[in-house]
Structure 1
Amino acid sequence: MPRALSICDRKTLSRTLAFLALGIACLSLSGIASAALPIPADNSSVLRIQGSNTIGAKLGPALIEGLFEEQGLSAIRIEAGAVENEQKVTGMTADGRSVTVEVAAHGSGTGFVGLKNGSADLAASSRPIKDSEAGELAHLGDLKSREAEQVIALDGLAIILHPGNPLGVLRSEQVAQIFAGEIKDWSELGGLPGTINLYARDGNSGTYDTFKELVLNAHGKSLSESAKRFESSEQLSDSVSRDSQGIGFIGLPYIRQAKALAIAVGESQPMLPSVTLIATEDYPLSRRLFLYNQPDMQNPWGQALVRFAHSPRGQAIVDQSGFIAQTVQAVSVAASPAMPAAYQTLAREAQRLSVNFRFQEGSSSLDNKALRDVERVLLYLKKQDKMKQKVVLMGFGDSKADPARAKLLSKLRAMAVRRELARQGVIFREVTGLGEELPVAANDADEGRIKNRRVEVWVY
């Protein structure tokens, strides 16, 4: 026997019917008018986004504003909601109707809860969906599929200090010991004597989840109870910049007046959170920013926002918001004696593209971001007339007992990328592998090994 519709069900049904009715009304034989998105007759919000404060504080509203402009809306404004860290983006149509998108930024985990209980159409997350969350949302479809998982930007976690602190470099294990409360005084790190004060994001935050995964868990540590916790990225950063003995972690756009440290992991060289190193995801604390939706999402505004976020205009907004866009660019790399000879030759004669291809965990298949990066790289190669004999693919991997096997596997990864690009007519100059050379992360944990299993693209 069919169950009675709850209040939530009836609201959802009403919203869906309103979208369908207005969507049909907007269709035309020419297809031009169909570009205009439907607006519900009851003036309810056209889209509800919940989740990451990193995305929701600035980037999400900026992307919505860009979509509104694309749709021809006017009088666009971003207003604070009734609750802290909630916002509404509103605009007006040419015939005077109001359009509203709601953004609630209380942490990545809350976005997946919103998808589960139907209070959100999109989940914003500054970390990948967890297996447990994907399992709880399995009734909505495969949330790990390309249709559901949208990488909209790249970011890097910066370890920040007071601008007057002379310390410049820390190793990942030192950062873990500091935030676990095991290193308590700056003098233990060669600095001036003084108690270290810890600043951290709150437990709902994807920023905290990423820090916990990449730093704390990687070294078997837990966050000290003495850390001051913040829901707001801006408040955390400003607090560190006012505390001469403070240290915190934050997303790249929120460094503000604080000082960022260079970080080293495993055998990698210390790296500052630079645009290029985050774009290639080589920086040890780089991360992806996501939107998650049902694979068969029906909300036309949700579909449009996902499309817009991936578009060149959307990625320009990502860049303007202080995050790292996924637009492909050629970057010169300085040759170094520490590089393998073949790599030194590339550095002197060619340029590296600002993208690395990476793979699904435990698989030789390209991950969801890499599949979109194939399209971005192809667009770059066509525009720059580099489709024939101009491209070198360089594969890398994690260490193996047999170095020859590591080199073979790294070349096989490069060949997997070659297959995707060759289908679209790219003729390669060289495809090779350097095995375990030039690691960008430690090889003693899955996260590090995944980062080291990569394919770089170079162009002549």
Structure 2
Amino acid sequence: MMLRVLYLSALCALLPLTASANDLPTSETAPVLRIQGSNTIGADLGPALVAGLLREQGLLKVHSERPDTANEQRIVGENAQGQRVIVDVAAHGSSTGFTALKNASADLAASSRPIKDSELADLKSLGDLKSPGAEQVIAIDGLAIILHPQNPLSQLNTEQLARIFSGEASTWEELGGSGGTIHLYARDDQSGTYDTFKELVLGRRGKTLSSAAKRFESSEQLSDAVSQDPQGIGFIGLPYVRQAKAVAIADGQSQAMLPLNSLIATEDYPLSRRLFLYLPPNGKNPWAQALVAFAQSSNGQAIVAANGFVAQTVHAMTVTPNALMPEGYQALSRHAQRLSVNFRFEEGSATLDNKARQDLSRVLDYIKQRDKTNRQVTLVGFGDAKNDPARADLLSKLRAMAVRRELVKSGVVLREIRGFGAEMPVAANSADEGRIRNRRVEVWVY
């Protein structure tokens, strides 16, 4: 299936980031942009991106003002005429962003999970919020499982996590540790962090969060509570580990992985997730369009990294070969470097998903800037397990060929296409989410 033209390129062409604030509408009293949704985004990252945009637009005296309402703030700048330009950010959980789009009290929804089918249908009048222009991945995050710094456990698997947070495993001794009763800490029901944990850990095993869990709207408060409780365990977005201890996580047959930037950037870490801005296609707010374009720019991604999340900036990584890798993969890792991007696909399809469409442009820029267009790039495909291993091998190579077609259009001559079938899984194949993660294409450069 042919890929649609990258929306971002068109958006940047239509709305240059060098435009002055005078090119965008201002108001004496009303905010020029209203963002609602994820606390993970809205606590710090969203306001930082807004402040960066305001400064890039030439506004002066950019600062934050906090009203009396918790988890809300106002980012303010002044134009050359001294007129205030205001952006409101409310961070009460991902679901509240989609509700705000529906009742027209927000121009952008910030979400730390993908939009749900029910929300997509509910907001149909605003346009297709799953279209490439509407669904914008602005950063990658990892859900860290955190313990008290003195807890001796160093790794857990997702099956154990499900038993712990559902209350089935109630003491640390059941997990091979010590300390007596396990104390659970979790985000509130409005939180995208909670939605992600529920989907990746609890839901796929038919479990629900124990009623004994202490719930928090604030990520910082949750993390600080766990770091002060020797019997505590919680889940949190990567920037909010703070003084707590993060443990390595395994899913299915995957190796146990710490929430390291390199493993989160490729979305190999089992509890990695995408952070989104949703821009209604039928919306006409130019500030919303400008913020989306700025968030995807190199300056915007630098702000993502500075706020503790994982930027989508492409870089090369050295991979140390080990005995668990197929021989051909070990050989590749000895002679080439892996890029910090995995291409993934729409569910049940060989069509690149929205993030992959964005990443395609970034990877092409990386390859061209480093003069690696002539047989300096190898694509490596993986898939989920099939009853017939030969079919898994074929499908993994076909996925790599789907990426090859797009690179070839821009003049890249590939060195090699490899397919490793269902080897080296990064997630369990027992659920759709895991199978989607395992269906991936890596990019290696010489």
Using structure 2 for the length normalisation, give the TM-score: 0.95
Deviations 1:266-325 (A, max 9, x none): 000100000000000000000000000111431111010000000000000000000000
1:454 to 409, 425, 440: 440
1:348 to 312, 331, 334: 334
2:188 to 202, 215, 223: 202
Give the Cα separation in 1 of the matches to 2:412 and 2:88: 43
Please tell me the residue identity of whatever aligns with 2:92: H
Show the counterpart of 1:298.
284
CA contact (8 A) 1:44 1:100 kept: yes
Q: How far apart are 1:41 and its partner, in Å?
A: 3.9
Unaligned segments of structure 1, at least 5 residues: 1-30
1:69 to 55, 70, 77: 55
Pick closer, same or farther for the CA change 1:108–1:186 going to 2, 3 Å. Answer: same
SS at 2:422 equivalent = coil
Please tell me the residue identity of whatever aligns with 1:259: K
The aligned length equals: 430
Show the counterpart of 2:166.
180
Pick closer, same or farther for the CA change 1:224–1:317 going to 2, 3 Å. Answer: same
Q: How far apart are 1:33 and its partner, in Å?
A: 6.3
Pick closer, same or farther for the CA change 1:135–1:318 going to 2, 3 Å. Answer: same
CA contact (8 A) 2:179 2:230 kept: no
Q: How far apart are 1:192 and its partner, in Å?
A: 1.4
SS at 1:343 equivalent = helix
Deviations 1:332-360 (A, max 9, x none): 00011211111001110000000000000
CA contact (8 A) 1:76 1:90 kept: yes
Please tell me the residue identity of whatever aligns with 1:232: S
CA contact (8 A) 1:37 1:301 kept: no
Show the counterpart of 1:56.
42
Give the Cα separation in 2 of the matches to 1:254 and 1:184: 25
1:90 to 39, 63, 76: 76
Unaligned segments of structure 2, at least 5 residues: 1-16
Show the counterpart of 1:247.
233
Higher relative contact order (CA 8 A, sep 6+): 2
Give the Cα separation in 1 of the matches to 2:216 and 2:18: 47
Show the counterpart of 2:199.
213
SS at 1:284 equivalent = coil
Q: Does residue 116 of structure 2 align to residue 130 of structure 1?
A: yes
2:425 to 426, 432, 439: 439
2:387 to 392, 401, 425: 401
SS at 2:377 equivalent = strand
Show the counterpart of 2:296.
310
Q: Does residue 134 of structure 2 align to residue 148 of structure 1?
A: yes
Show the counterpart of 1:369.
355
Q: Which runs of structure 2 are paired with 1:225-236 in the superposition (5 Å)?
A: 225-236=211-222
Q: Does residue 314 of structure 2 align to residue 328 of structure 1?
A: yes
Q: Does residue 419 of structure 2 align to residue 429 of structure 1?
A: no
Show the counterpart of 1:139.
125
Give the Cα separation in 1 of the matches to 2:232 and 2:390: 46
Q: Does residue 25 of structure 2 align to residue 39 of structure 1?
A: yes
| Farther off after superposition, 250-259 or 212-221 | 212-221
Give the Cα separation in 2 of the matches to 1:428 and 1:193: 55
Please tell me the residue identity of whatever aligns with 1:180: S
Show the counterpart of 2:267.
281
Deviations 1:51-109 (A, max 9, x none): 00000000000000100110111111112123100000001111101001000000000
Greater than 4 Å deviation, 4+ residue runs: 31-35
2:148 to 162, 171, 180: 162
Give the Cα separation in 2 of the matches to 1:290 and 1:69: 22
SS at 1:389 equivalent = coil
Give the % identical residues. 67
Show the counterpart of 1:112.
98
SS at 2:361 equivalent = helix
RMSD: 1.2
Show the counterpart of 1:271.
257
Q: How far apart are 1:39 and its partner, in Å?
A: 3.4
2:210 to 207, 224, 227: 224
CA contact (8 A) 1:328 1:376 kept: yes
Give the Cα separation in 1 of the matches to 2:20 and 2:52: 19
Give the Cα separation in 2 of the matches to 1:85 and 1:35: 27
CA contact (8 A) 1:201 1:208 kept: yes
Give the Cα separation in 1 of the matches to 2:245 and 2:49: 28
Pick closer, same or farther for the CA change 1:32–1:275 going to 2, 3 Å. Answer: closer
Give the Cα separation in 2 of the matches to 1:163 and 1:458: 37
CA contact (8 A) 2:138 2:276 kept: yes
Give the Cα separation in 2 of the matches to 1:75 and 1:435: 55
Please tell me the residue identity of whatever aligns with 1:226: A
Give the Cα separation in 2 of the matches to 1:54 and 1:267: 29
Give the Cα separation in 1 of the matches to 2:355 and 2:18: 31
Q: How far apart are 1:394 and its partner, in Å?
A: 0.3
Please tell me the residue identity of whatever aligns with 2:44: K
Pick closer, same or farther for the CA change 1:219–1:375 going to 2, 3 Å. Answer: same
Pick closer, same or farther for the CA change 1:192–1:145 going to 2, 3 Å. Answer: same
Which one has a bigger Cα radius of gyration? 1
CA contact (8 A) 1:198 1:227 kept: yes
CA contact (8 A) 1:252 1:273 kept: yes
Give the Cα separation in 1 of the matches to 2:344 and 2:407: 15
Show the counterpart of 1:359.
345
Give the Cα separation in 1 of the matches to 2:308 and 2:95: 23
